[in-house]
Amino acid sequence: MTETPSGALPVPYVPGMSGLSIMARGGYATVYRAMQDSVGREVAIKVENRRLESDRDQARFLREARAAGRMSSHPHVVDLFDVGVTVDQHPYLIMELCDGSYLDRMRRSPLGAAETRDLGVKIADALVHSHKNGVLHRDVKPANILYSEFNTAVLADFGLAVLGEMRDSSVTLEVLTPAYAPPEMFRHDEPSGAVDVYALCATLYAVMKGRPPRWDGDRSPSLLTLMDLFHQPIPDLPGVPPALTQVLRWGMDNDPSRRPTAQQLRELLTSVQLNPPINYVPPPRPSSSDDTPTIRNPRSAKTPKKKWPFGGLLGSQDR
């Protein structure tokens, strides 16, 4: 019998599953590879490290299970097969098995502009589906976008998701992934779809750069330093068309009301031309309040909607 490492949970018993082996371990959960005996397929089992001993823990698990269940019909959201609780009160989710994450990929070799644009379109479409169903993900990042032999991109881990009937804005700083969280998350503002848009744009920038935007190292800075980083410009990336970088900048605006919605982001990314003319110069972003584009805030139905000043960003027909 294999001895359990110090501080690690023993391999759990999950009905109908055999051959559990650890794939990944984090602060909140352990992911196992296993065989689903009834149908003879390999799956991933995410087991919470903590027991469901408090109402908060139970609500968090229920929130993730419901969010993942609602979303799993989308082709770019990881499939959820079943959920349950072990005999010692550790909740688990049984999901499709993927080969790796885009965090792994960007660490090996940053993505090119074309692959990144296509990745963004797929995950933005998943967010459109998510937001229409009243689900906010709140933890979009390279580690939560997975790939497999049959699907190049699926959004996973709805652990911080907010459902329409559970408008919980309480997310501790320990749970956040600071590199991909917008400034309003640190202020504990009421969550909106703009949070996911920011995180996706930061993710797309990161997979091309090899590290998160504005970050110089792998270690998380202090909260004070982090808040200062939001005021630093987001530079162009070598070999990346300015049109794509500009769309990502808009999505990472510090003001959530100025960001595109997930649907608008999907359309912007789809329309970006990756081979602009040599003399192409992207138009400057409007600086005056009268010309600044306003995106409808999901929390307010009264916000007027203006046209985006795409200029020459979307192709020759706009030139």
Instruction: Give the per-residue pLDDT at 117.
Output: 97
Q: Which residue has the tokens 């799956």?
A: 43
Q: What is the DSSP letter of 51?
A: -
How would you classify the pairing of strands 17-25 and 29-36? antiparallel
Question: How far is the CA of 82 from the CAs of 41, 71, 95, in angstroms?
Answer: 14, 13, 7
Confidence at residue 122, expressed as pLDDT on a 0 to 100 scale? 98
Q: How many whole angstroms separate alpha carbon 119 and alpha carbon 76?
A: 10
Q: Are 58 and 50 in contact (CB under 8 A)?
A: no
Q: Which residues contact 246 (CB under 8 A, 6 or more apart)?
A: 282, 285, 313
In angstroms, rounded to a whole number, what is the distance separating the alpha carbons of residues 72 and 81? 9
- Stretch (H or E) spanning 128: helix 113-132
Is-contact 300 284, C-beta < 8 A?
A: no
Q: Are 208 and 111 in contact (CB under 8 A)?
A: yes
Q: What pLDDT, on a 0 to 100 scale, did the predictor assign at position 236? A: 94
Backbone angles phi, psi at 150, to 5 degrees: -105, -5
Consecutive 10-residue runs of the chain (319 residues): their mean pLDDT? 49 94 85 96 90 79 78 90 89 92 94 97 96 89 92 84 50 64 86 94 96 75 72 92 96 96 97 68 49 39 42 39
Residue 44, amino acid: A
Give the per-residue pLDDT at 240.
95
Q: What residues are annotated to the active site?
A: 138
What is residue 17's predicted lDDT score, i.e. its pLDDT? Answer: 96
CA angle, residues 18, 22, 23, in degrees to nearest 5:
115
Residues 6+ away with beta carbon under 8 Å from 309: 283, 285, 286, 291, 293
Round to whole Å and give the CA distance between 240 and 243.
8
**d(C-alpha 28, C-alpha 31), whole Å:** 10
**Of the candidates 212, 215, 216, 217, which has an alpha carbon nearest to the alpha carbon of residue 199?**
212
Domains of the chain and CATH, by start? 22-96 (3.30.200.20), 100-301 (1.10.510.10)
**Separation of alpha carbons 147 and 291, rounded Å:** 40
